[in-house]
Structure 1
């Protein structure tokens, strides 16, 4: 009987791959959480949880296998099966189906050839609309089977034959979808720029929140946290459900979480009050995450320990997010530094005891952290280690 890695070895392996193991139990229910997403986003989120969550990794990997088998992408099926084998090889062999891979690959190849033959006919007939639709159909197919480079090429070939604002927007959204999956953030922003301000489209009201939300994701990926915060705070979800607006990549709760955390990390108390708590458009999202609204209100009101306590209690949930996972430690550090800095502003002298009470767990001291902040010029202060 084959035996897989033990838990510690598995998560040590994942950490060597650049991921962060999440050992705390998250507050969300996996089944309810994943229902907020569709398409590849649902699979990618399940896979990340399977790679990083000590509590949910098996449930997430099982769900990711099932999700992969609903698609035509055998590559992602084999990818999740490989992780499954590391931790539970016996169960992986039960789930794994070589016959499904072979039959799906054969059907995919046949469909690709059929669409390519049809494209030749369309080009010979010189009908622009048929050519555009042919490229779009081929792109959708290639994207569905995981050939993202081929899909991007097919969608790009639509460009000479688009004739209406709607066509321009549709082509742009297809390309944004591919670039997001490939984490090509600069290309996402460039493509969104090309569809910004498109006039006359019957989807015009839906374009603006889509552009702001997906720009926010790309800017977050580029670590442009302040610009990303502004994008999420400008999303208006009144015209349609956010899942529909963002092609299944985000839900309304994500807009609240991304916008709230990024704003906390980059904005001062006045800006948070005006741009977040008093922002009528964003307030509707923030009501979905009342704990985050409380954390922001605590920061604005100078109750920094309460703010940090709330954020700490939700750290596991945020670390399991597909886009926050890579940035959360940085964002939390930025927020904590702001809390400490703002706490010190009214005082000319503060005891280390009071600082420990406000910002440290019992039995630990904040002195080393303060020294590091002074050395990096985050705060302008000196420590009297004798008198504390």
Structure 2
């Protein structure tokens, strides 16, 4: 079975251009299939020479497309490069091309397939795959999938990397410690640098807005009423601006509350859990009482043979 599989692999590989895989298969055969399945150096040299020529041609074409700023041609050039690398077994380079083309749907698919591989992956490969998946989720605006608290501040290994960027470490800790003003200050200081990030710059305004909204929601959640003056002070903003932000969140059903614009107080619409619990208990008691009375009545009727019989027809 092994030799037959190697024979089929040898024949199939020679139809393509992956010379490294060809060399690996020949080494696995080890001369067991005779001279017809030995190392073909002439074929390898010919394919490698042709590959070098094709790569040079693709590079020249892509450079020309970039110079002329023809977007569709640039996309096709990258696509040709990806196919070239894939055909020659250079999967790492092909993967980079996909990232550069922003085909993140393909990235997620390939990462999923790689993680389901029956062969055990080394930790470095797993880390690279998860980084690629994170970038794909970021590009697709799936921010919750791209970041997880237990993977950041609760992760001892990752916490060591946060020590290299203390501002990021502090803003994350401030957010989860409800020190929102300090957290937003750190975000403001980092914004100029983050706008230069090739992956984040398109998402930065959206992410900043969502972080601020999340902070506002978390601030209001524990309270029955909130003084907007105190809240504005906590977020280092003015009351009128804060009121507009809260109005938008209330309209979007992200905050269950109403605003007293005259007194500048936010009143939460929390359900009265105590009263609701009493009402449920009373209702359950009434239902139980009714069921018990019905059962007792039925038992007494049966005991005294009070059975309703239908009249006989003559």
With the length of structure 2 as denominator, give the TM-score of the two structures.
Answer: 0.60
Instruction: Choose which of 344, 350, 361 in structure 1 pairs with 2:226.
Output: 350
Q: Which residue of 2 aligns with 1:151?
A: 81
5 Å-filtered alignment, 1:220-239, equals 220-229=138-147
Q: Which residue of 2 aligns with 1:99?
A: none
Distance 1:134 1:295, change over 3 A: farther
For 2:250 and 2:100, locate their aligned partners in 1 and report how far apart those are by CA, in whole Å: 40
Shift of 1:215: 1.3
Instruction: Choose which of 212, 223, 243 in structure 2 pairs with 1:367.
Output: 243
Residues 179 and 188, structure 1, Cα contact 8 Å, conserved in 2: yes
**2:191 maps to 1:315:** yes
Distance 1:309 1:140, change over 3 A: farther
Instruction: Choose which of 97, 120, 127 in structure 2 pairs with 1:209.
Output: 127
For the pair shown, the structure with the greater C-alpha radius of gyration is 2
Distance 1:218 1:141, change over 3 A: farther
Unaligned runs of 5+ in 2: 1-13, 24-43, 63-76, 265-314
Instruction: Choose which of 184, 188, 203 in structure 1 pairs with 2:103.
Output: 184
Give me the CA root mean square deviation. 3.1
Flag the structure with more relative contact order, 1 or 2, with Cα contacts below 8 A and sequence separation at least 6: 1
Q: Name the SS for the 1:149 alignment partner.
A: helix
Shift of 1:296: 1.1
Shift of 1:294: 0.7
Unaligned runs of 5+ in 1: 1-121, 159-166, 230-262, 264-271
For 2:99 and 2:83, locate their aligned partners in 1 and report how far apart those are by CA, in whole Å: 15
Of stretches 368-377 and 356-365 in structure 1, the one that deviates more from structure 2 is 356-365
Runs of 4+ in 1 over 4 A off after TM superposition: 122-127, 131-145, 197-201
Give CA deviations for 1:163-198 in whole Å, capped at 9, x if unaligned. Answer: xxxx5xx42x22221111111111122233343355
Shift of 1:141: 4.7
**2:94 maps to 1:175:** yes
For 2:106 and 2:221, locate their aligned partners in 1 and report how far apart those are by CA, in whole Å: 41
Residues 175 and 191, structure 1, Cα contact 8 Å, conserved in 2: no
Distance 1:177 1:341, change over 3 A: same
For 1:180 and 1:331, locate their aligned partners in 2 and report how far apart those are by CA, in whole Å: 21
Residues 139 and 155, structure 1, Cα contact 8 Å, conserved in 2: no
Q: Which residue of 1 aligns with 2:259?
A: 383
Shift of 1:350: 0.8
Shift of 1:154: 1.8
Residues 217 and 323, structure 1, Cα contact 8 Å, conserved in 2: yes
Residues 194 and 200, structure 2, Cα contact 8 Å, conserved in 1: yes
Shift of 1:309: 1.1
**2:206 maps to 1:330:** yes
